[in-house]
């Protein structure tokens, strides 16, 4: 009964609150630094384990600042409501008051439980003893100072700003910030829900609300049947979470075969050089026709016949971005692509025949080089040269999903400094405790992987030119990596 008075938080909400990964939190629990019960942690224990927690440290105030523009309708905000800063302050103050009330109630409850326990003893207490017990307990309940920084108040504030969604049947979770749509939030968190148009027409993003409430944030033309209405179906692309906790039944893609082949015409948004021999091509799909794919997959890119020189030019490339990156599709395209089928497209990009705002046809997705979401093993990624493109997508996805025990990246190149995005890799390693990065020469790679005994217990993802990945794959198998845990993408 006493436990029921405490404030319990799910692991994902606690991690969200602290601004750390769920894996880092789980590690503290495993190390015995924090108690958990049935997948929940006590807010008081959390405060004890992270005494330095405050608004700025947790990043939550910054997050609040960033999402406040979306939190309320502009007209209401400007004409009726106080400023967002004022509202945020008030919510925080109310959260503090609420948390203090909860703490006081907990202390009174403990006092009554102690009295009750004393009364249950065979020897009836004398009135003086009871009075002393009561006075002592009351003095303690009233004198205990509030903690300097309050997890309860922070949580109350975050509950207003971000809703927690649990997905059935997978059990996965994500947070909805401000009034973003359920679809956008789910994709950002690395989920692969079923969807199509992204703007309320096709009905493919239907989900059933099992618990909690949603509200529409954009109009939709899709008409639900009476049965669907009765079963609380909503469109994930058109509504957001109203309650701070929401449970949805969602159709998710679990494997590449669950995703249909699609054709989309995207616009060139940016082209920039990543070193002398690799170009980054940034495409953006239309709002109403996004490309659905899994991290690590390939697509075919084509420029239409007659665009400049009257010929059709195609090439197959790995998407380097993650599906969580909204409408953006990023590709790392090497000069003199060794694959005959892709060489022409690569040449068009390098000699300037593909330009900003051009239309590029995208069709796919292809391939099975995707993360095994259900695997609890550490993740090891090995990229050879521009094999980094699909690896980049997988890493972004793994970070979004926040389920990997640890992530190790080896990026090998035949040229010194051939790792064309070193700062990004270093930034991952600096920002994430569980991430390590090593740049090395191609010739060093077999010895390095051969000497790493931990690889046998990891899921290993290897990508690079077809003729280069073979020997590395053999070295990995010889090092004890089980074939089922080795995923190879020959480009
Ligand atoms: S994706 Fe088409 S209605 Fe939501």
> Which residue of 184, 193, 194, 204 sits with most ligand 1 atoms within 8 Å of its CB, as the best mutation to test the pocket?
204
Distance CA 157, CA 152 (A): 9
Q: What are the two backbone dihedrals, phi and then psi, of residue 364, each rounded to the nearest 5 degrees?
A: 145, -155
What pLDDT does residue 395 have? 95
234 lines ligand 1 (CB under 6 A): no
What pLDDT does residue 69 have? 44
Q: How many CB atoms lie within 10 A of CB 74?
A: 8
237 lines ligand 1 (CB under 6 A): yes
Is residue 412 within 8 Å of residue 444, measured between CB atoms?
Answer: yes
88 lines ligand 1 (CB under 6 A): no
What pLDDT does residue 105 have? 80
The predicted model scores a pTM of: 0.73
Name the DSSP letter for residue 37.
Answer: B
Strand 173-177 relative to strand 162-168, pairing:
antiparallel
Distance CA 127, CA 82 (A): 55
Nearest atom (ligand 1) to Cα of 201: 3
What pLDDT does residue 67 have? 42
198 lines ligand 1 (CB under 6 A): yes
281 lines ligand 1 (CB under 6 A): no
207 lines ligand 1 (CB under 6 A): no
What pLDDT does residue 52 have? 63
Distance (angstroms) between ligand 1 centre and the Cα of 240 equals: 14
What pLDDT does residue 308 have? 53
Hey, CA dihedral for 15, 16, 17, 20, is it positive or negative?
Answer: positive
CA 411 to the chain's CA centroid: 23
Triad 326, 85, 69: Cα angle to 5°: 20
What pLDDT does residue 68 have? 44
Nearest atom (ligand 1) to Cα of 195: 1
Distance (angstroms) between ligand 1 centre and the Cα of 121 equals: 64
What pLDDT does residue 207 have? 96
Triad 16, 20, 23: Cα angle to 5°: 100
Q: What are the two backbone dihedrals, phi and then psi, of residue 142, each rounded to the nearest 5 degrees?
A: -85, -20
201 lines ligand 1 (CB under 6 A): yes
197 lines ligand 1 (CB under 6 A): yes
Distance CA 424, CA 440 (A): 16
Which domains can be identified in the chain, with CATH numbers? 2-156 (no CATH), 169-252 (3.10.20.30), 259-366 (2.40.30.10), 379-490 (3.40.50.80)
What pLDDT does residue 66 have? 46
Distance (angstroms) between ligand 1 centre and the Cα of 47 equals: 42
Distance (angstroms) between ligand 1 centre and the Cα of 264 equals: 16
Q: What are the two backbone dihedrals, phi and then psi, of residue 27, each rounded to the nearest 5 degrees?
A: -65, -40
> Which residue of 184, 195, 250, 289 sits with most ligand 1 atoms within 8 Å of its CB, as the best mutation to test the pocket?
195
Q: Which residues, including other chains, have CB under 8 Å from residue 134's CB and lie 6 or more apart?
A: 111, 115
Name the DSSP letter for residue 292.
Answer: P
Nearest atom (ligand 1) to Cα of 236: 4
Q: How many CB atoms lie within 10 A of CB 17?
A: 24
Distance (angstroms) between ligand 1 centre and the Cα of 328 equals: 18
Distance (angstroms) between ligand 1 centre and the Cα of 64 equals: 28
Mean pLDDT by 10 residues, the chain (491 residues): 55 79 82 82 79 52 45 50 66 72 79 83 81 82 65 66 89 88 92 90 94 91 91 94 92 89 94 92 91 94 66 89 89 81 86 91 94 86 96 93 88 92 92 90 87 88 92 90 94 86
């Amino acid at each position: 009964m006493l436990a029921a008075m405490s404030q319990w938080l799910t692991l994902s909400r606690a991690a969200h609150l602290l601004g750390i990964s769920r894996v880092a939190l789980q590690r503290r629990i495993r190390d015995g630094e924090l108690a958990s019960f049935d997948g929940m942690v006590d807010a008081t224990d959390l405060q004890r384990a992270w005494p330095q927690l405050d608004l700025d440290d947790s990043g939550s105030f910054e997050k609040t600042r960033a999402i406040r523009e979306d939190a309320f309708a502009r007209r209401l905000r400007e004409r009726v409501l106080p400023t967002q800063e004022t509202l945020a302050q008030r919510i925080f103050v109310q959260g503090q008051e609420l948390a203090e009330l909860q703490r006081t109630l907990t202390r009174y409850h403990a006092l009554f439980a102690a009295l009750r326990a004393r009364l249950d003893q065979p020897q009836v207490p004398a009135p003086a003893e009871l009075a002393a017990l009561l006075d002592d307990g009351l003095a303690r309940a009233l004198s205990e100072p509030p903690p300097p920084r309050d997890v309860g108040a922070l949580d109350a504030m975050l509950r207003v700003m971000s809703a927690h969604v649990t997905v059935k049947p997978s059990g996965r979770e994500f947070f909805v910030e401000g009034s973003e749509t359920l679809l956008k939030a789910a994709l950002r968190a690395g989920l692969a829900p079923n969807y199509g148009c992204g703007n309320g027409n096709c009905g493919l993003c239907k989900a059933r609300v099992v618990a909690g409430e949603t509200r529409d944030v954009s109009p939709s033309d899709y008409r639900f049947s009476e049965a669907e209405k009765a079963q609380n179906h909503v469109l994930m692309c058109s509504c957001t979470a109203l309650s701070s906790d929401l449970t949805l039944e969602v159709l998710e893609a679990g494997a590449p075969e669950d995703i249909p082949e699609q054709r989309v015409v995207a616009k060139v948004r940016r082209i920039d050089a990543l070193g002398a021999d690799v170009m980054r091509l940034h495409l953006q799909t239309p709002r109403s026709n996004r490309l659905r794919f899994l991290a690590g997959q390939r697509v075919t890119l084509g420029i239409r016949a007659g665009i400049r020189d009257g010929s059709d030019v195609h090439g197959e490339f790995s998407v380097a971005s993650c599906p969580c990156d909204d409408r953006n599709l990023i590709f790392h395209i090497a000069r003199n692509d060794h694959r005959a089928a892709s060489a022409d497209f690569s040449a068009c990009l390098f000699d300037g025949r593909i330009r900003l705002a051009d239309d590029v046809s995208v069709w796919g997705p292809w391939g099975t080089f995707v993360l095994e979401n259900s695997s609890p093993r550490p993740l090891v990624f090995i990229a050879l040269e521009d094999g980094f493109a699909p690896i980049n997508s997988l890493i972004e996805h793994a970070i979004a999903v926040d389920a990997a025990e640890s992530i190790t990246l080896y990026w090998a190149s035949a040229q010194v400094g051939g790792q064309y995005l070193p700062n990004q890799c270093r930034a991952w390693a600096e920002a994430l405790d569980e991430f390590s990065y090593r740049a090395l020469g191609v010739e060093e790679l077999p010895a390095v992987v051969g000497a790493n005994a931990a690889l046998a217990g990891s899921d290993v993802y290897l990508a690079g030119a077809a003729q280069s990945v073979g020997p590395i794959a053999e070295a990995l198998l010889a090092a004890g990596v089980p074939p089922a845990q080795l995923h190879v993408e020959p480009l």
